[in-house]
Amino acid sequence: MVPRSALLSNNTKLSFFMKKTFVLIILFSFFSKDVFAYSLTRSTAEGLIQQMSAVIASKDLVNIEKFFKYYADDTARFIYKSIPVDPSATIKTKESKSNRTRKEYIEHLIRIIKSSREYSFRATLDSYSQGADGLSAVIGISIDERTISNIPDPNNKRRDIQVKTKALTNCNVSLTLAAATPIISGMNCIEKILVQ
């Protein structure tokens, strides 16, 4: 016959084991829900584009560089096809294509801002298509970028002329989610440029 004290001891151990297991299940459920709660949403994408627009429009070169180093993958490519829309313009521009790295794209933005007397930038989200995994998306954005700058007069090198440039751009942007942070993994854009 098993002593009553041994039974009580075994019951106590079993009870403790069950309580411990129950606590572990609760903790696992809590953290599992937390891990899988993250997904890329239209709202997340829109917030990223609004933040990008505000940072570039601020013309703060340090913050622009910080933004893209944080929110763009280091292997991201920024592909642009630039098309002049007014062949009769005084300042001639040619159709061109570019395929920039993240570093080159940052340098491109900084160069435009530095060379402009006035600069404005506005980006808006037009479309959102989520990947099946919930952790990726392709979004469509529109960019309205305008500059006023002084350049040498092609007919008189002794003086400068004021040039107004308006670039209207449509981009498909690939996004991925990394630790709840949306990351730009690529941009493919068509830019229509009007020079006045």
**In sequence order, which residues have a C-beta less than 8 Å from that of residue 74 and are 6 or more positions away?**
102
pLDDT 10s digits, 154-188: 777 778 888 899 999 999 999 999 988 999 999 99
Question: What pLDDT was estimated at residue 163?
Answer: 87
Alpha-carbon distance of 119 to 100, in angstroms, equals 22
Was domain 42-195 assigned CATH 1.20.1530.20?
no
141 contacts 122 by C-beta, under 8 angstroms: no
Share of the chain above pLDDT 90, in %: 63
pLDDT 10s digits, 3-26: 545 444 544 444 444 444 443 333
pLDDT 10s digits, 85-112: 876 666 667 899 999 999 999 999 999 9
Domain boundaries, the chain: 1-37, 42-195
Question: What pLDDT was estimated at residue 29?
Answer: 36
pTM of the model: 0.76
Alpha-carbon distance of 2 to 139, in angstroms, equals 71
Question: What pLDDT was estimated at residue 93?
Answer: 72
137 contacts 131 by C-beta, under 8 angstroms: yes
Q: What DSSP letter does each residue of the chain carry, written as one string?
A: ---HHHHHHHHHHHHHHHHHHHHHHHHHHHHHHHHHT----HHHHHHHHHHHHHHHHHT-HHHHHHHHHHHEEEEEEEEEEEEES-TT-SS----EEEEEEHHHHHHHHHHHHHH-SEEEEEEEEEEEEE-TTSSEEEEEEEEEEEEEEEEEETTEEEEEEEEEEEEEEEEEEEEEEETTEEEEEEEEEEEEEEE-
For residue 135, which of 92, 106, 177, 103 has the smallest C-alpha distance? 177
